[in-house]
Amino acid sequence: MATIRELRCSVCGRTFAPDSVRYTCPHDGAVGTLDVLYDYDSLKTELDRDRLRVSHEGSMWRYRALLPLAPDVIAPPLQVGWTPLYDSARLADDLGVRQAWAKDDGKNPTGSLKDRASALVVARAMEQGIETVSTASTGNAAAALAGVGASVGMRTVIFVPATAPEAKIAQLLVYGATVILVEDTYDVAFDLCTEICDLEGWYCRNTGMNPFTAEGKKTVAFEIAEQLNWQVPDVVVVSVGDGNILAGVHKGFWDLHQLGWIERIPRLLGVQAEGSSPLVHAWENGIAAVDMQPVETHTIADSIAAGLPRDRAKALRAVRDTDGAFLAVSDEAILASIPRVARLTGVFAEPSAAAVYAGARRAVELGYIHPDESIVLLLTGNGLKDVRRAQEAVGRGLRVRPDLAAIRQALASLEDT
């Protein structure tokens, strides 16, 4: 395990002893999300990246030496992480770049990258003997907490907007979580969950607010680096709502860089939906995280709808420090991306995940990505999570009478289109 040296505020830079603060910086409040830092000099002498090659652990726990979990705690059994990274020449061709990979994090047990955060948070709750963990979520973080919680018999209480896609709500109920459908936005559900956790003494997994969400998510960057034999790509494209995945990806590469396992950190490109793009606005206008104001959100990409991104300070830093960029894409472009990604790579992604394809296209047009560069598209969630939106992009199929002549006629008409 990695022993935590200190927690550091992403806004003011103050540091705190590991057990002295639970969630965000006492001086900055909610905007001051914390980084979990280790003693990198001693990790550097203890660990060797080449030893990973012989590891048989096919999950995020292959990086347990770089995660904050006591050795006597048994990690939740679900196989989270170690998802495939597909090298796709057709995707590269289509986007006009030298090389392109798709990282299929929709393959996680509950269908999204959020499992990485939930696995670490639940493991830490077990370590501390906590009985109930709660979260607010647009859907995927909730499913992840419910699923990982179910795998160890942990009680979970979930707050989601009542408008979340049905598959996501069904998932929560199937896993046996206590589910509260809040008749308001994710942002409102988030604040309610924070308050109730405080009243009830539950451990709160709320994204960004809990410093271990990004710590779990960083494992996706570890995997990308290891799967590419420690030769990182030029750019990683990430879809952004609260900015916690972006923060986690950055932290993962940053940790590896501290250890000397990679030579540089890739440029990080954050993609938002036009109808929920406060970070694009802040980045373009030089607005600091502490000065950002909540905006109303309107997008079909429910997982990246966040009016006041909870991890805004780290998200802005991730893009700034890596010389990356933020950009916004329309809902139409997001919808069209679903079949594009699927037909180019064989991966069916939900709208918020497919958005990275539209973002990469736009980034090439704008010159944020150059034709001689290599990129990774991080596909954060499975397309089966939101079939209704996929149907908006591809229709519902052609119904045909069960006879050969009708079928041949139908085939001919399909080939015409």
Ligand X SMILES: *Cc1c(COP(=O)(O)O)cnc(C)c1O
Report the interface residues with Zn ion, using CB under 5 A.
9, 11-12, 25, 27-28, 32
Q: In angstroms, rounded to a whole number, what is the distance separating the alpha carbons of residues 305 and 275?
A: 8
216, 241, 266, 278: residue in contact with ligand X (rule CB under 6 A)? 241
Site string for ligand X, 372-401 (x = CB under 6 A): --------xx--------------------
Q: Segment near ligand X (CB under 6 A), from 176-184, 226-234, 242-250, 261-269?
A: 242-250
Number of residues that bind ligand X (CB under 6 A): 20
Nearest approach in angstroms of CB 6 to Zn ion is 13
Nearest approach in angstroms of CB 35 to Zn ion is 11
Nearest approach in angstroms of CB 378 to ligand X is 8
Residue 134 sits in the site that holds ligand X (CB under 6 A): no
Q: Segment near ligand X (CB under 6 A), from 10-18, 51-59, 220-228, 235-243?
A: 235-243
Q: In angstroms, rounded to a whole number, what is the distance separating the alpha carbons of residues 63 and 79?
A: 13
24, 171, 194, 239: residue in contact with ligand X (rule CB under 6 A)? 239
User: Is the separation of the CB atoms in 86 and 362 below 8 Å?
Assistant: no
Q: Segment near ligand X (CB under 6 A), from 42-50, 191-199, 237-245, 358-366?
A: 237-245
**Please, which residue, 76 or 309, has the CB nearer to ligand X?**
309
- For residue 160, CA distances in Å to 132, 138, 139, 168, 331 come to 17, 6, 6, 10, 22
Residue 243 sits in the site that holds ligand X (CB under 6 A): yes
Nearest approach in angstroms of CB 244 to ligand X is 3
Q: In angstroms, rounded to a whole number, what is the distance separating the alpha carbons of residues 148 and 145?
A: 5
Residue 242 sits in the site that holds ligand X (CB under 6 A): yes
Specify the length of the chain in residues: 417
**Please, which residue, 266 or 359, has the CB nearer to ligand X?**
359
Nearest approach in angstroms of CB 237 to ligand X is 11
Q: Which does 255 bind (CB under 5 to 8 A by kind): ligand X, Zn ion, none?
A: none
**Please, which residue, 28 or 255, has the CB nearer to Zn ion?**
28
Q: In angstroms, rounded to a whole number, what is the distance separating the alpha carbons of residues 108 and 122?
A: 16
**Dihedral angle over CA of 117, 121, 126, 131, nearest 10:** -120
Q: How many CB atoms lie within 10 A of CB 301?
A: 30
**Please, which residue, 9 or 271, has the CB nearer to Zn ion?**
9
Residue 323 has what DSSP assignment? T
User: Is the separation of the CB atoms in 109 and 145 below 8 Å?
Assistant: no
**Please, which residue, 143 or 232, has the CB nearer to ligand X?**
143
Q: Which does 243 bind (CB under 5 to 8 A by kind): ligand X, Zn ion, none?
A: ligand X
Q: Give the footprint of ligand X on residues 170-229 (CB under 6 A).
A: 207
**Dihedral angle over CA of 3, 219, 179, 313, nearest 10:** 80
User: Is the separation of the CB atoms in 312 and 245 below 8 Å?
Assistant: no
Q: What is 59-79 written as a DSSP string?
A: SGGGGGGGS---TTSPPPSS-
In degrees and rounded to multiples of 5, residue 179 shows phi and psi of -115, 125
**Please, which residue, 15 or 227, has the CB nearer to Zn ion?**
15
**Please, which residue, 147 or 261, has the CB nearer to ligand X?**
147
Residue 353 sits in the site that holds ligand X (CB under 6 A): yes
Q: Segment near ligand X (CB under 6 A), from 1-9, 301-309, 357-365, 393-401?
A: 301-309
Q: In angstroms, rounded to a whole number, what is the distance separating the alpha carbons of residues 385 and 3?
A: 36
Q: Which burial class, exposed, middle or buried, applies to 235 when counting CB atoms under 10 A from its CB (0-12, 13-18, 19+)?
A: buried
What residues contact 219, with CB distance under 8 A and at least 6 apart?
Answer: 60, 63, 67, 81, 116, 252
Nearest approach in angstroms of CB 304 to ligand X is 5
Residue 278 sits in the site that holds ligand X (CB under 6 A): no
Token pair 């969400």 is found at: 213
Nearest approach in angstroms of CB 222 to ligand X is 17
Q: Which does 350 bind (CB under 5 to 8 A by kind): ligand X, Zn ion, none?
A: ligand X
> Please, what's the largest Cα pairwise distance for the chain?
75
110, 112, 171, 297: residue in contact with ligand X (rule CB under 6 A)? 112
Q: Which residue is nearest to ligand X (CB)?
A: 381
Nearest approach in angstroms of CB 254 to Zn ion is 19
CA-nearest of 223, 326, 232, 221 to 281 is 326
Q: Given the rule CB under 6 A, which residues bind ligand X?
A: 112, 114, 140, 207, 239-246, 303-304, 306, 350, 352-353, 380-381
